[in-house]
Chains A and B, each alone.
Chain A
Amino acid sequence: MDTTLLLLSVMCLTVSSQPITDSQRLFSIAVSRVQHLHLLAQRLFSEFESSLQTEEQRQLNKIFLQDFCNSDYIISPIDKHETQRSSVLKLLSISYRLVESWEFPSRSLSEGSTPRSQISPKLSELKTGILLLIRANQDAAEIFTDTSAFQLAPYGNYYQSLGADESLRQTYELLACFKKDMHKVETYMTVAKCRLSPEANCTL
């Protein structure tokens, strides 16, 4: 009798822990994918920078501050405190939007060699993964009421609006912004994952 009860409880635990483990697994996958994308973005940016002259570099630095990144309209936590204050769902949704905002412009990045050409499809896959996670973590009660987060600016044409003679600048901006956004997503995802993880030390 006792043994059967014990068995039943164990089974129930395992069954109930399934969604958590599934969620964990999905998170792990998503986090690793984002990490890869960020690495890719970093590599592209450093390659681009190394190909520039120092004079051009200085100019670009000046220019960069005056311009905006495409995803600036997306309000996201910019420090740890804010991030920790945000719910997992919020983090996930922000990540989703960030990834979505890059889906279109990444096509101009995807020209050329193999690692570059993988950016666009990887972004799509990541978007799908995040969506899955959102659905998995969405409770009925918790409705996302922050409408500001869903303001979709016409980002599609942002990077094409620049003049043709400023292709260097455009490339620089594109690469820098992409790198930054990927790092944002990576951080948010990691924080969200660690928050859901039962272990104390989630980085393992």
Chain B
Amino acid sequence: MRKAEGGILLRLLLLFMLHATGTSYSPPGKPTLTRCRSPEKETFTCWWEPGSDGGLPTKYALYYRKENSDKVFECPDYRTAGENSCFFNKNDTSVWVNYNITVVATNALGRTFSDPVDIDVVYIVKPNPPENLALTVLWDQTWPYLHVSWESPQKADTRSGWITLIYELRIKLEDEDEWEEHPAGQQKTFNIFSLCSGGKYLVQVRCKPDHGFWSEWSSSQYVKVPEYFNREKSMWVLAVIFSAFALFIITWLIHMNCHNLKQCILPSVPGPKIKGFDEQLLKDGKSMDAFSSLVGANFPPTTTNYEDLLVEYLEVFVPEERELMLEETKELHNDSLKFENSTSDCDSGRGSCDSHTLLIDKSEEEKGQQPDQQSSEIKMDGKGQDEEDKYLTCSPENVDSHQLSSEKVKTWPSSFSPLPEYSPIPLQQPNSHETSKQPCLSDSLFAAGPLPSHFPHLGHNTKDEIGSSYWQFGISNKQLHLLHQQMEAHQQLQAHKNASVSNIGHLQLPSVRFTEYVEVQRVSDQNMVILHPVPSHPETSYPDWHQTEEYSKVKCVDNDNGLLLLQREGVEEGMDMCSYEELPESDPSKTTNTTFTSPCSQPAPSVQDERVVGGYVETSVFTLPTY
């Protein structure tokens, strides 16, 4: 009791004394565990950092606790590892066991605990660096290489497999700064190639367990590479020199042949040159002389062969308001139907006329009829001697007033439908004639010879001997009023036709068709060519079907309103000509003008003179009542 009292008294006295001296004392600062390491997974060491000691002597103690146990142990060895460390030997070390370690600092005034740290020995392994690093220079033929070898750290038991280490080495030249690192895996040797001749190298090596920390680098080992002839380098030097030399030679060659090469690679562009043109003359100022040479025999072309310019087709210009084109197509089933699509080809064979293409063929009859105001031409062909199958079916359905708006429609109103008695022959090429439908006026209105007496009222120029003829009317878009007129005409025609039909209802089908030649009688004052038939054959010569037809095409009407006709050889085939059929006229008074043709030039000036153009004109003159 007395001793305890004495102790307390002593302590108090000490405190008082300390206070009296004026220094401040405090409990120790908090220590911290810096690290724990195990070199071989069998032992480990922990180091701590002491805090402030508070001015008083402080003692440190390390306590640990293993997992799953509350028993606290104190560090067994404070000295082996140095100051502020704790060493755990093999007996105290358990692998795969969590340690909870705490450091306590104690001084006179108190004690302070550090933060606890949990460690597992397996994960704090940091081995010692490898040992016995050896460098050897070996030779591979003429090139040296470095052979490096080392040993594992002594403590680490790799032999039993308790710990597995992987190694890494680094090398550099003595005066360099950068290290060249090479991972070596688990092997303990390594070869380095591509050494500098005569260089001095430093080599270091380190190791690491498969799960742990890298060891420190081992101490450096030096090696000096002996001098050797680097053939590779010399090869490169030689190659460079040679290529430079070759380049020099090539450059020199190019320079010598500069001019030739230029010609070869970049040929000069030929300047413009006119044949026969003397530049010098121009320079001298004699421009006329210079140009005169250009005027050679061929320039400008003075003579032309006009015949080359002739075309076969006759284009007759139809005045716009009276542009009614009639075309006859006759469909012969054994003949090719050549269809004049006059409106569609604008360019062919124009010549000097810009009119629609028309073929003026001979018509067998009345061609001498007065050309009408509505000049149209009908191409007639008296071919086809066979019976009703020769009749071309006029397809009255073709009439489409809507078509008139845009194109020249060669249609005829449906009134001109073929007579029922006469079996109509369908158009062989109806499709191609879409735009220019040619409904033929089938008419079996006109029978052969015996009939003419029936039709005097239809038109005084009707040659009734002629078989049916087919008319095609082309009505241009500008002539809608004309169409109207046409309509009236056709109505009249219809009337007549009907009349004629009734008249000839019992008539035989005229199978005879033949063409008659017409001759241009005169050109009327309305720019119509009045033709009169030329009785080349007797009218009775019906059997004479196959008449060679000669017809000439009207080329054009020249400036003097003359019809220029082209003489033409007889063409029998391929000409689709409908036999002329007379169209009835409404007005006898106008019968004089029943024939009309489409003059190819401007209709304005009336032609008074009679123009016999020469040759026979096969005109499919068609008489329409004039309005």
Contacts and interface: CB of A to CB of B under 8 A. Distances in A.
A106 interface: no
B196 to A, nearest CB: 31
A10 B556 CA distance: 122
B96 interface: yes
B98 A65 contact: yes
A184 interface: yes
A187 interface: yes
Given A201-B159, A203-B161, A79 B42 contact: yes
A79 B94 contact: yes
A122 interface: no
Interface residues of B, number: 28
A193 B161 CA distance: 8
B118 A204 contact: no
Contacts, number: 71
A21 B511 CA distance: 118
B162 interface: yes
Between A42, A80, A201, A202, the greatest number of chain B beta carbons within 10 A of the residue's beta carbon is seen for: A80
A195 to B, nearest CB: 7
A187 B211 CA distance: 11
Nearest to B41: A80
A78 B91 CA distance: 11
Contacts of A183: 96, 122, 211
A114 to B, nearest CB: 22
A187 B159 CA distance: 13
Nearest to A188: B161
Nearest to B118: A61
A39 to B, nearest CB: 8
Contacts of A187: 161-162
A42 B42 CA distance: 21
B160 A84 contact: yes
A81 B90 contact: yes
B122 A83 contact: no
A64 B118 contact: yes
Contacts of B164: 190, 203
Chain A contact residues, majority secondary structure: helix
Given A38-B211, A204-B186, A204-B187, A78 B97 contact: yes
A178 to B, nearest CB: 13
Interface string A190-201: 111111000011
A72 interface: yes
A150 interface: no
A201 B160 CA distance: 8
A20 to B, nearest CB: 16
A187 B95 CA distance: 11
A65 B118 contact: yes
Given A80-B162, A201-B159, A180 B120 contact: yes
Contacts of A171: none
Chain B contact residues, majority secondary structure: loop
A35 interface: yes
Contacts of B161: 187, 190-195, 202-203
Interface residues of A, number: 30
Contacts of A42: 211
Contact of A200 (B68, B157, B159, B186): B159
A79 B186 contact: no
B135 interface: no
B325 interface: no
Given A35-B210, A65-B100, A183-B122, A203 B186 contact: yes
A194 B94 contact: no
Contacts of B335: none
Given A68-B68, A184-B96, A203 B118 contact: no
Given A65-B118, A72-B68, A201-B159, A79 B93 contact: yes
A79 B90 contact: yes
Given A195-B161, A203-B165, A80 B42 contact: yes
B188 to A, nearest CB: 8
A10 to B, nearest CB: 29
Contact of B94 (A35, A68, A78, A184): A78
Contacts of B160: 80, 84, 191, 194-195, 202
27 contacts: A35-B210, A38-B211, A64-B98, A65-B65, A65-B98, A65-B100, A65-B118, A78-B94, A78-B95, A79-B42, A79-B93, A79-B94, A80-B95, A80-B162, A180-B96, A183-B96, A183-B211, A190-B162, A191-B160, A195-B161, A201-B158, A202-B159, A203-B159, A203-B164, A203-B186, A204-B186, A204-B187
Interface of A: 35, 38, 42, 61, 64-65, 68, 72, 76, 78-81, 83-84, 180, 183-184, 187, 190-195, 200-204
Interface of B: 41-42, 65, 67-68, 90, 93-98, 100, 118, 120, 122, 157-162, 164-165, 186-187, 210-211
Closest 6 CB pairs of A and B: A194-B161, A190-B161, A78-B94, A191-B161, A203-B158, A80-B162
